[in-house]
Structure 1
């Protein structure tokens, strides 16, 4: 774990260039998991959506994009740039999202992740459990198919 502090702040449309760069670095193009700039702009305009930016030593390290509706929220995107992985950035973002959810009166947080994604360990270590599966949802560049796993955790 790095000894430098991870700084978290609320993001907005002024962070779109940084978000675009982080998505390009963080998401493997074989899976098509990164969103387009227009998708991010569109979702940021929706009530109940928030963006959290993680920085370390003034450099962009990752982000989380969340949508809350009533007492539930969905983690839409979580990205950590490759050189900052396994340094506490993803865990810090998740703690922040869970805390934000609790402050907003949201009881549960959901997410969907490709089976086999390295982030599964982070999610499980952060209290998420599998509640559903969509078989053959993702298709890799090699033609193999992978399930989409639905995970959930309480924010209380």
Structure 2
């Protein structure tokens, strides 16, 4: 599979894309960490005001997505995922840049996210100006009951 950054297309998504985002989550999130959302959680939030879904397509396939919620002048990147076969090709960075641009366009001045401690995506967030602002102990629960800390990050837009 050959995918380059030039072939990444970002587009808005919605509830009709739930099967695609569910498929991405099942591939992208390791169940031992408890980070993925259920289909009903995704559908529930997609209907809320200020929520938007961004899909990344590469080679005609949904390669990743980002789910974001804005309230007044702040937003939170709720989920971002890239299918393993499409990683290390700039898709996560393209999604993050797209979310930042969309948030700015909505009048957002600060973007937040939360990530499991030890998640390698922290390097991507740091490269886009995010800084650690907090920590939640034992936030994520994996399928075996093991808990993992969550770190909160934010960037001024």
Report the TM-score, using the length of structure 2 for normalisation: 0.92
Partner residue, 2:155 = 153
Task: Indicate if the aligned counterparts of 1:4 and 1:57 stay in contact, CA closer than 8 A.
Answer: no
Of 84, 92, 95, the match for 1:93:
95
Q: Does 1:123 align with 2:119?
A: no
* C-alpha distance 32-9 of structure 1, shift in aligned 2 (>3 A): same
Partner residue, 1:135 = 137
Q: CA deviation at 1:41?
A: 0.8
Partner residue, 1:64 = 66
- Equivalent-residue separation in structure 1 for 2:54 and 2:95 (angstroms): 7
- Count residues with an aligned counterpart: 155
Q: CA deviation at 1:85?
A: 1.0
Task: Indicate if the aligned counterparts of 2:55 and 2:62 stay in contact, CA closer than 8 A.
Answer: yes
| Cα RMSD after superposing both structures | 1.6
Task: Indicate if the aligned counterparts of 1:30 and 1:140 stay in contact, CA closer than 8 A.
Answer: yes
Identify unmatched segments of 5+ residues in structure 1.
none
